[in-house]
Amino acid sequence: MRGARVVGLLATHALALRLPLRVPLRRVAAPRMSIEVERKFEATDAAALPTRVAALGGTLAGEVSFTDAYWDNAGCTLTRRDTWLRQREGKWEIKIPLGDPGDRSGASGGERTVFREVEGEAAVRTALESLLDGGALDGTGDLEATLRAAAFAPFVTFGTKRSKFRVGECAIDADVASFGHSVVEVEVMCESEAAVPEAEAAIARVAGELQLKPLQNTGGKLETCIRREAPAVLAALVEEGILKP
C-alpha cells in the first residue's frame, strides 16, 4: 500500500504469520510478564516522521528486519480469545488480553491497545500450560516440537522491515510488511495496570505532536495479513466478535 513512500526515508520492513482442536482456556498466571500499551497509525506521512521526531528531541534508535510466525490450532483456541502466540526470529512471545478474557471491548485481531506480554520459551510454555486445560502441551522437548505434537502450527508468517525511533518514553516503529502493508506504531511498556492510563496519555500526546493519523480503513499488519491469507482464522475472529467481517 504505502510501502513505497516509507522505503525512501526509513529502511523498509518485513514480517511473518500462519495458523491451524479447540481446548478450554483458564486464566493465566505467567512469569516474566510486562504490559504493552500500543496504538497503530496510518503510514501516509511516514516520510516526514524522521524530521518530526528530531524536532521533538527524539532519536532514530535503529533499523531492523525480522520474520514473525503466529501459531494456533485448527479450532483457533488462542485467537478466539484475542491471545496471540508469536515466534519472532525463533524466539517465543505470547500476548494475552489485559483484564477479563471474555471482554471483547478493544479487541481487534492482534491490534488491541493493551496486552500482557510474555517472552522467552520457558515463560511462554508456563503461560500456555496455564491457558490450556487437559494436558494439551504434554512433552518435555523444545516448545516448537511440543506445539506441533499438540496439533498447533503457524497460520500466518510474514516479514517486517522496521525503523525504530524514540521520543521520551514512547517507542515509535515505522513498519513495512513483506506483503506491502505499512503502519506506524507508538508503544509504551509498563510494569503494572495502574500505569496504563498514564502510558495511554503519553502515546496520545506524542502521536499528536508527530501529527500521526489513526488507522481508518485498514488494520495493522497482523489483521491485514489474516484478512488476506487466513480465511479460517478470520471467520473465527468474526464469529467471536473480535473482528468485523
How far is it, in rounded angstroms, from Cα 2 to Cα 13? 12
Question: pLDDT 10s per residue in the chain (245 long)?
Answer: 444 333 333 333 333 333 333 334 444 343 456 999 999 999 988 889 999 999 999 999 999 999 999 999 999 999 999 999 999 999 999 999 887 655 555 555 556 689 999 999 999 999 998 888 755 677 667 999 999 999 999 999 999 999 999 999 999 999 999 999 999 999 999 999 999 999 999 999 999 999 999 888 788 999 999 999 999 999 999 999 888 88
Within-domain flag for 15: yes
Closest CA to 15 of 155, 147, 181: 181
Q: Extract the C-alpha cell encoding 162.
A: 522496521
Give the global pTM.
Answer: 0.83
Q: What is the CATH number of the domain that holds 128?
A: 2.40.320.10
Residues 6+ apart with CB under 8 A from 221: 15, 158, 160, 175, 177, 181, 183
Cell triple for 134: 487437559
Q: Do the domain assignments include residue 190?
A: yes
Residue 143 belongs to what domain range?
3-239
The answer to whether position 244 is within a domain reads: no
Structurally, how many domains does the chain consist of? Answer: 1
In a domain, 34, yes or no: yes
| 194, 55 contact by CB (below 8 A) | no
Q: Is 245 part of a structural domain of the chain?
A: no
Q: Which amino acid would we find at residue 1?
A: M
88, part of any domain: yes
Q: Is residue 14 part of a domain?
A: yes
Amino acid identity, residue 48? A
Confirm if 129 and 137 have CB atoms less than 8 A apart.
Answer: yes
Specify if 218 maps to a domain: yes
Distance CA 231, CA 91 (A): 26
